[in-house]
A and B are shown apart, each in its own frame.
Chain A
Amino acid sequence: MTTSPSLYQAQQELVDEFAMFTDWQDRYEHLIELGKDLPLIAPEHKVDDNLVRGCQSRVWLAAEPKEDLVHFTADSDAMITKGIVALLVRVYNDRTPQEILGASTEFIDRIGLREHLSPNRANGLSAMLDQMKRYAVAFSATTGKG
């Protein structure tokens, strides 16, 4: 039922992509590029209801069911945050709720962006992930396949 590549493969692809960069500047420039490539969120989804709580920048994260899968769109007013949410969308988008709930986030560390995994309230990665997982739980409940 899942799309190709698998969630794990998508993570591995990102790890390989980032492995080409040896210094922080290239890594962050790539992250910013990923953010710029993130497809535009529909204006009707860029609303306060879709703001992720717990980020220092504003992050909108919307989810819609797409058959059995969860379809994510996102945006942010900060470029690095947008890059981070783009990473997550690339990995978690169009997956089943079960895949999303079962996935590990250790690839962020392997990418060399470990600082974004800290529970520091200022950086919103864990808040974004929580919201993605909440959507997954909600969808699995409505489809009865959780």
Chain B
Amino acid sequence: MNSTAVKPVFDIAEIRAQFPILKELVHGKPLVYFDNAATSQKPRRVIKAESSYYATINANVHRGVHTLSTKATEAQEAARETIRKHINAKHAHEVIFTSGTTASLNLAAFSLGQLLLKKGDEVLISGMEHHANIVPWQLACERHGAVLKVIPVTDSGELEIRRSDDQMIRQFTERTKIFAISHVSNTLGTINPIKGLIAEARKRGIITVVDGAQAIAHLNVDVQDLGCDLYAFSGHKAYGPTGTGVLYGREELLERMPPWQGGGEMIDVVTFEKTTFAKLPFKFEAGTPHIAGIIGLGEAIRWMEDYDKAAMAAHEHLLLEHATKELLTIDGLRIIGTAKEKVGVISFVIEGVHHYDLGTLLDQQGIAVRTGHHCTQPLMDRFGVSGTTRASFACFNTVEEIDSMIAATKKAVKMLR
């Protein structure tokens, strides 16, 4: 990684001490937070970075000639550079700040739709996408008369692709203009082999968009190595503040893409007859950005870079393996999503137990999990379930917490059967 002082040993107690929220009690019990795929908790450094912006340099960016505006601008642009380095983008202006992955994907779908889609063209997504990587494309297809196509998902929760043929994805056709795919499934935890898929798409001249919301906190993301055109992620799932996100885009493509939202900051010259737009990245950043959040996001990335990413990933993998093994000891429990390559996300259903009941009874025991369809209703239909219970881990979680969840689940099942 880019940091000069990577901490060699993964010290879980040291990490936990940095998350103030982990000292909270829920219903009088110590909080066990297993909803990191929805939003991760924040280390003190991030909270401090955000609040000290308000306390010391709060001003609007890129506008004022006064000192505070200069400082705020420098802090925001330093965050952009931190993110550029972290994802290995070529240029800082390829990093566009948004309010989150959803906004990033809406920007992508609106703008690429305008640029590329004509009647009869196709947009290809997969059956495991989050609604945020489905609905914006549906809207774009409706606007331009294009068709949305879907790569099916296998029983293990992997993309149905051919491994060795020269066409891994059968659904690519002459009319495919855009391929939008999640790096990691939020519901199943599956890590998709996107590098190969992107390469195949590029050979065919198809523009590739990656939903990286669930990847950024857990995997090394190198956008040049992946070769994608656009890569979207949220700050708040990567230990950063809510309301922050990024859309990375290849410079050449971003230059061609029309703006999504109009307003201040994104213009060059405005007359009532015609407006010319600002340079990248500001063309896509209309209005006052979430400056405090962006500064916090920069700090979150620097915080992650202080750790050995491989050690962090190994710890999360250990949690996944332990949870998988222990959950399967519960009678009637079925894990939805058994791909070989997974991050620390486990969705499961238990025969005769409704996920809502289980989530409620786990909460009574201080354990926070997500229940429901996880904004992936087509995927729920694919597996024939109305919803699941999902535990999703972060670097600060422990094996002991998983044992608490298992004991609490067993207690709940007993009450419900």
> Which of A32, A57, A77, A115 contacts B416, CB < 8 Å?
A32
Q: Are B364 and A56 in contact (CB under 8 A)?
A: no
User: Does residue A79 face the partner (Cβ distance < 8 Å to B)?
Assistant: yes
User: Does residue A29 face the partner (Cβ distance < 8 Å to B)?
Assistant: yes
Q: Could you say which interface size class chain A belongs to?
A: 10 to 19
Residue interface bits B355-376, CB-to-A below 8 A is 1, else 0: 1110011011000000110000
Q: Which residues of B contact A77 (CB under 8 A)?
A: 354, 386
Q: Are A24 and B415 in contact (CB under 8 A)?
A: no
Q: Compute how far the CA of A25 lies from the CA of B411 in the bound complex, rounded to whole angstroms.
A: 9
Q: Which residues of B contact A58 (CB under 8 A)?
A: 386
Residue interface bits A17-30, CB-to-B below 8 A is 1, else 0: 00000001100110
Residue interface bits A48-89, CB-to-B below 8 A is 1, else 0: 000000001110000000000000000001111100000000
Q: Are A25 and B415 in contact (CB under 8 A)?
A: yes
User: Does residue B259 face the partner (Cβ distance < 8 Å to A)?
Assistant: no
Residue of A nearest to B412 (CB): A28
Q: Are A78 and B361 in contact (CB under 8 A)?
A: no
Residue of B nearest to A29 (CB): B415
Q: Which residues of A contact B91 (CB under 8 A)?
A: none
Instruction: Say whether chain B's binding surface is mostly helix, strand, loop, or mixed.
Output: helix
Q: Compute how far the CA of A77 lies from the CA of B353 in the bound complex, rounded to whole angstroms.
A: 9
User: Does residue A122 face the partner (Cβ distance < 8 Å to B)?
Assistant: yes
User: Does residue B113 face the partner (Cβ distance < 8 Å to A)?
Assistant: no
Residue interface bits B314-358, CB-to-A below 8 A is 1, else 0: 000000000000000000000000000000000000000011110
Q: Which residues of B contact A78 (CB under 8 A)?
A: 354, 356-357
Q: Are B360 and A80 in contact (CB under 8 A)?
A: yes
> Which of B363, B364, B411, B415 contacts A32, CB < 8 Å?
B415
> Which of B27, B361, B372, B411 contacts A56, CB < 8 Å?
B372
> Which of A24, A77, A79, A81 has the largest count of B CB atoms less than 10 A from its CB?
A79
Q: Which residues of A contact B235 (CB under 8 A)?
A: none
User: Does residue B387 face the partner (Cβ distance < 8 Å to A)?
Assistant: yes
Q: Compute how far the CA of A2 lies from the CA of B386 in the bound complex, rounded to whole angstroms.
A: 40
Q: Compute how far the CA of A63 lies from the CA of B277 in the bound complex, rounded to whole angstroms.
A: 58
Q: Which residues of B contact A81 (CB under 8 A)?
A: 354, 356-357
Q: Compute how far the CA of A25 lies from the CA of B361 in the bound complex, rounded to whole angstroms.
A: 8
Q: Which residues of A contact B355 (CB under 8 A)?
A: 56
Q: Which residues of B contact A29 (CB under 8 A)?
A: 415
Known contacts A29-B415, A56-B372, A56-B387; A115/B356 CB under 8 A: no
Known contacts A122-B371, A122-B372; A28/B364 CB under 8 A: yes
Q: Compute how far the CA of A80 lies from the CA of B386 in the bound complex, rounded to whole angstroms.
A: 17
Q: Which residues of B contact A122 (CB under 8 A)?
A: 356, 371-372
Instruction: Tell me the minimal C-beta distance from A76 to chain B in angstroms.
Output: 9
Q: Are B416 and A56 in contact (CB under 8 A)?
A: no
Q: Which residues of A contact B411 (CB under 8 A)?
A: 25
Q: Which residues of A contact B354 (CB under 8 A)?
A: 57, 77-79, 81
Residue interface bits B1-33, CB-to-A below 8 A is 1, else 0: 000000000000000000000000001000000
Q: Are B415 and A115 in contact (CB under 8 A)?
A: no
Q: Which residues of A contact B387 (CB under 8 A)?
A: 56
Residue of A nearest to B370 (CB): A122
Known contacts A28-B364, A79-B357, A81-B356; A56/B415 CB under 8 A: no
Q: Which residues of A contact B372 (CB under 8 A)?
A: 56, 122
Q: Are B356 and A57 in contact (CB under 8 A)?
A: yes
Residue of A nearest to B365 (CB): A24
Instruction: Tell me the minimal C-beta distance from B159 to chain A in angstroms.
Output: 28
Q: Which residues of B contact A123 (CB under 8 A)?
A: 360
Q: Which residues of B contact A115 (CB under 8 A)?
A: 360, 363
Residue interface bits B95-127, CB-to-A below 8 A is 1, else 0: 000000000000000000000000000000000
Q: Compute how far the CA of A25 lies from the CA of B29 in the bound complex, rounded to whole angstroms.
A: 14
Q: Compute how far the CA of A115 lies from the CA of B364 in the bound complex, rounded to whole angstroms.
A: 10
Q: Compute how far the CA of A71 lies from the CA of B203 in the bound complex, rounded to whole angstroms.
A: 65
Q: Which residues of B contact A25 (CB under 8 A)?
A: 364, 411, 415
Residue of A nearest to B361 (CB): A28
Residue of A nearest to B363 (CB): A115
Q: Compute how far the CA of A115 lies from the CA of B372 in the bound complex, rounded to whole angstroms.
A: 18
Q: Are B356 and A56 in contact (CB under 8 A)?
A: yes
Instruction: Tell me the minimal C-beta distance from A118 to chain B in angstroms.
Output: 12
> Which of A28, A78, A122 has the largest count of B CB atoms less than 10 A from its CB?
A78
Q: Compute how far the CA of A21 lies from the CA of B364 in the bound complex, rounded to whole angstroms.
A: 15
Extra inter-chain contacts (9) besides given A25-B364, A56-B387, A81-B356, CB under 8 Å: A28-B360, A57-B354, A57-B357, A77-B354, A78-B357, A79-B357, A79-B416, A122-B356, A123-B360
Q: Which residues of A contact B (CB under 8 A)?
A: 24-25, 28-29, 32, 56-58, 77-81, 115, 122-123
Q: Which residues of B contact A (CB under 8 A)?
A: 27, 354-357, 360-361, 363-364, 371-372, 386-387, 411, 415-416
Could you show 5 A-B contacts with beta carbons less than 8 Å apart? A25-B411, A25-B415, A28-B360, A115-B360, A115-B363
